[in-house]
């Protein structure tokens, strides 16, 4: 597998994450340049806020894909969340409205009809860019070889299409962090399939086997990261549009988790994946060959790893299988508290 960026430092030189991370967080290294491909989405919205609240990274644009809600609605949500955070200068690009092969599958029962739970955000004043999501990803990655980190927290349709349109992005992107799959964990869409992968398994198949340097965050790690009502109550001690948004959005998400999965609180998959771009030691990883079932049977969209190297195929990704969940939740809460306080005193939208 190609090794670049943080992984090349870690894997080829044997530098432990623990020693690498301080260099990242103390500003010795410049902020990681990030593109976020997303289907906002409650936990996607939290990932956007975490990105904005984290000085280690520079969020250079958002491409939106179908998934938790339509790409049309998700684009509106992305713009609204950026306005809520007073950073509406960050460009948003609408991407694919449909999966590559499968029929459309959205998730109103999980994220609400508009994708952000009970939260009500005003119609955004800003508009999405004219350029399509996949074209934006290609242009940005090709313009800065080895510098752009892609964070994918929705179905992989935009990324797969970008690879088909411009295969050179595979060897030009720095790293690709993906929220998706359920390796040893049960699925959250079918008994064996995770939502993002199930919605567009063909896209996942293209991306997984593309040769991109992938760091996968499957449900094995994310389902240990549960945001509780006590956590939300802690945030609500700060009266802010941001904390109120988090409370209104996650209340719906918590009701879903309680009703469908008997989980108290809500699993915040996407912010964990985003956090790994700057604090990788939150997780433990294995370098594995991972495949996705696209045969159309009962295990369609199932992701599985060759732990015993039976296929003799080389590893195609690093997989986060273990996580320190409360370290992550604490990081998320601290960042949101600081961001909410700063936002309360910041002067208004920064629309150019």
Per CB under 5 A, residues contacting Ca ion are: 39, 41, 44, 153-154, 270
Is the CB of 24 or the CB of 254 nearer to Ca ion? 254
Is the CB of 24 or the CB of 71 nearer to Ca ion? 71
What's the maximum distance between 2 C-alpha atoms anywhere in the chain?
58
Shortest approach of Ca ion to residue 300 CB, angstroms? 19
CA distance 225 to 324: 8
Q: Which token pair is 95?
A: 């991407």
3-state SS, residue 79: helix
Beta-bridge partners for 87: none
Shortest approach of Ca ion to residue 269 CB, angstroms? 7
Is the CB of 66 or the CB of 174 nearer to Ca ion? 66
Shortest approach of Ca ion to residue 125 CB, angstroms? 25
**Kind and range of the H or E element at 62?**
strand 57-64
Q: What is the DSSP string of 319-341?
A: EEEEE-HHHHHHHHHHHHHHHHH
Shortest approach of Ca ion to residue 77 CB, angstroms? 11
Is the CB of 44 or the CB of 194 nearer to Ca ion? 44
Q: What is the CA radius of gyration of the chain?
A: 19
Shortest approach of Ca ion to residue 128 CB, angstroms? 18
Cα–Cα–Cα angle for 39, 328, 157, nearest 5°? 20
Question: Could you tell me if 288 and 317 are in contact, meaning their C-beta atoms sit under 8 angstroms apart?
Answer: yes
Shortest approach of Ca ion to residue 239 CB, angstroms? 28
Is the CB of 153 or the CB of 318 nearer to Ca ion? 153
Is the CB of 270 or the CB of 291 nearer to Ca ion? 270
**Kind and range of the H or E element at 47?**
helix 42-52
Contacts of 130 (CB under 8 A, 6+ apart): none
CA distance 278 to 275: 6
């Amino acid at each position: 597998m190609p090794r670049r960026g943080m992984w090349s430092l870690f894997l080829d030189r044997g530098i432990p994450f623990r020693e690498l991370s301080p260099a990242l967080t103390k500003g010795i290294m410049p902020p990681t340049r990030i593109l976020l491909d997303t289907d906002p989405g409650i936990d996607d919205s939290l990932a956007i806020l975490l990105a904005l609240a984290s000085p280690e990274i520079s969020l250079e644009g958002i491409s939106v894909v179908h998934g938790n809600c339509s790409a049309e609605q998700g684009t509106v949500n992305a713009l609204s969340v950026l306005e809520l955070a007073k950073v509406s200068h960050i460009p948003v690009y609408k991407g694919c409205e449909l999966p590559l092969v499968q029929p459309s599958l959205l998730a109103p029962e999980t994220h609400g009809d508009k994708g952000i739970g009970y939260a009500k955000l005003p119609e955004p004043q800003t508009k999405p860019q004219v350029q399509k999501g996949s074209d934006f990803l290609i242009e940005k990655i090709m313009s800065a070889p080895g510098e752009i980190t892609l964070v994918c927290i929705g179905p992989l349709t935009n990324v797969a299409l970008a690879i088909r349109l411009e295969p050179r992005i595979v060897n030009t992107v720095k790293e690709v962090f993906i929220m998706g799959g359920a390796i040893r964990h049960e699925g959250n869409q079918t008994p064996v399939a995770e939502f993002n992968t199930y919605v567009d398994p063909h896209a996942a198949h293209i991306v997984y086997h593309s040769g991109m340097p992938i760091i996968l965050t499957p449900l094995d790690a994310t389902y240990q990261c549960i945001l509780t009502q006590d956590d939300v109550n802690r945030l609500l001690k700060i009266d802010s549009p941001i904390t109120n948004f988090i409370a209104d959005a996650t209340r719906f998400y918590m009701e879903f988790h309680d009703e469908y999965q008997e989980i108290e609180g809500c699993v915040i998959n996407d912010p964990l994946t985003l956090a790994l771009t700057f604090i990788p030691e939150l997780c433990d990883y294995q370098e594995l060959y991972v495949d996705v079932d696209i045969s159309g049977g009962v295990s369609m969209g199932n992701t599985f790893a060759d732990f015993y190297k039976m296929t003799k195929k080389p590893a195609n990704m690093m997989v986060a299988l273990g996580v320190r969940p409360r370290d992550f939740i604490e990081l998320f809460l601290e960042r949101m508290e600081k961001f909410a306080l700063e936002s309360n005193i910041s002067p208004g939208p920064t629309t150019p």
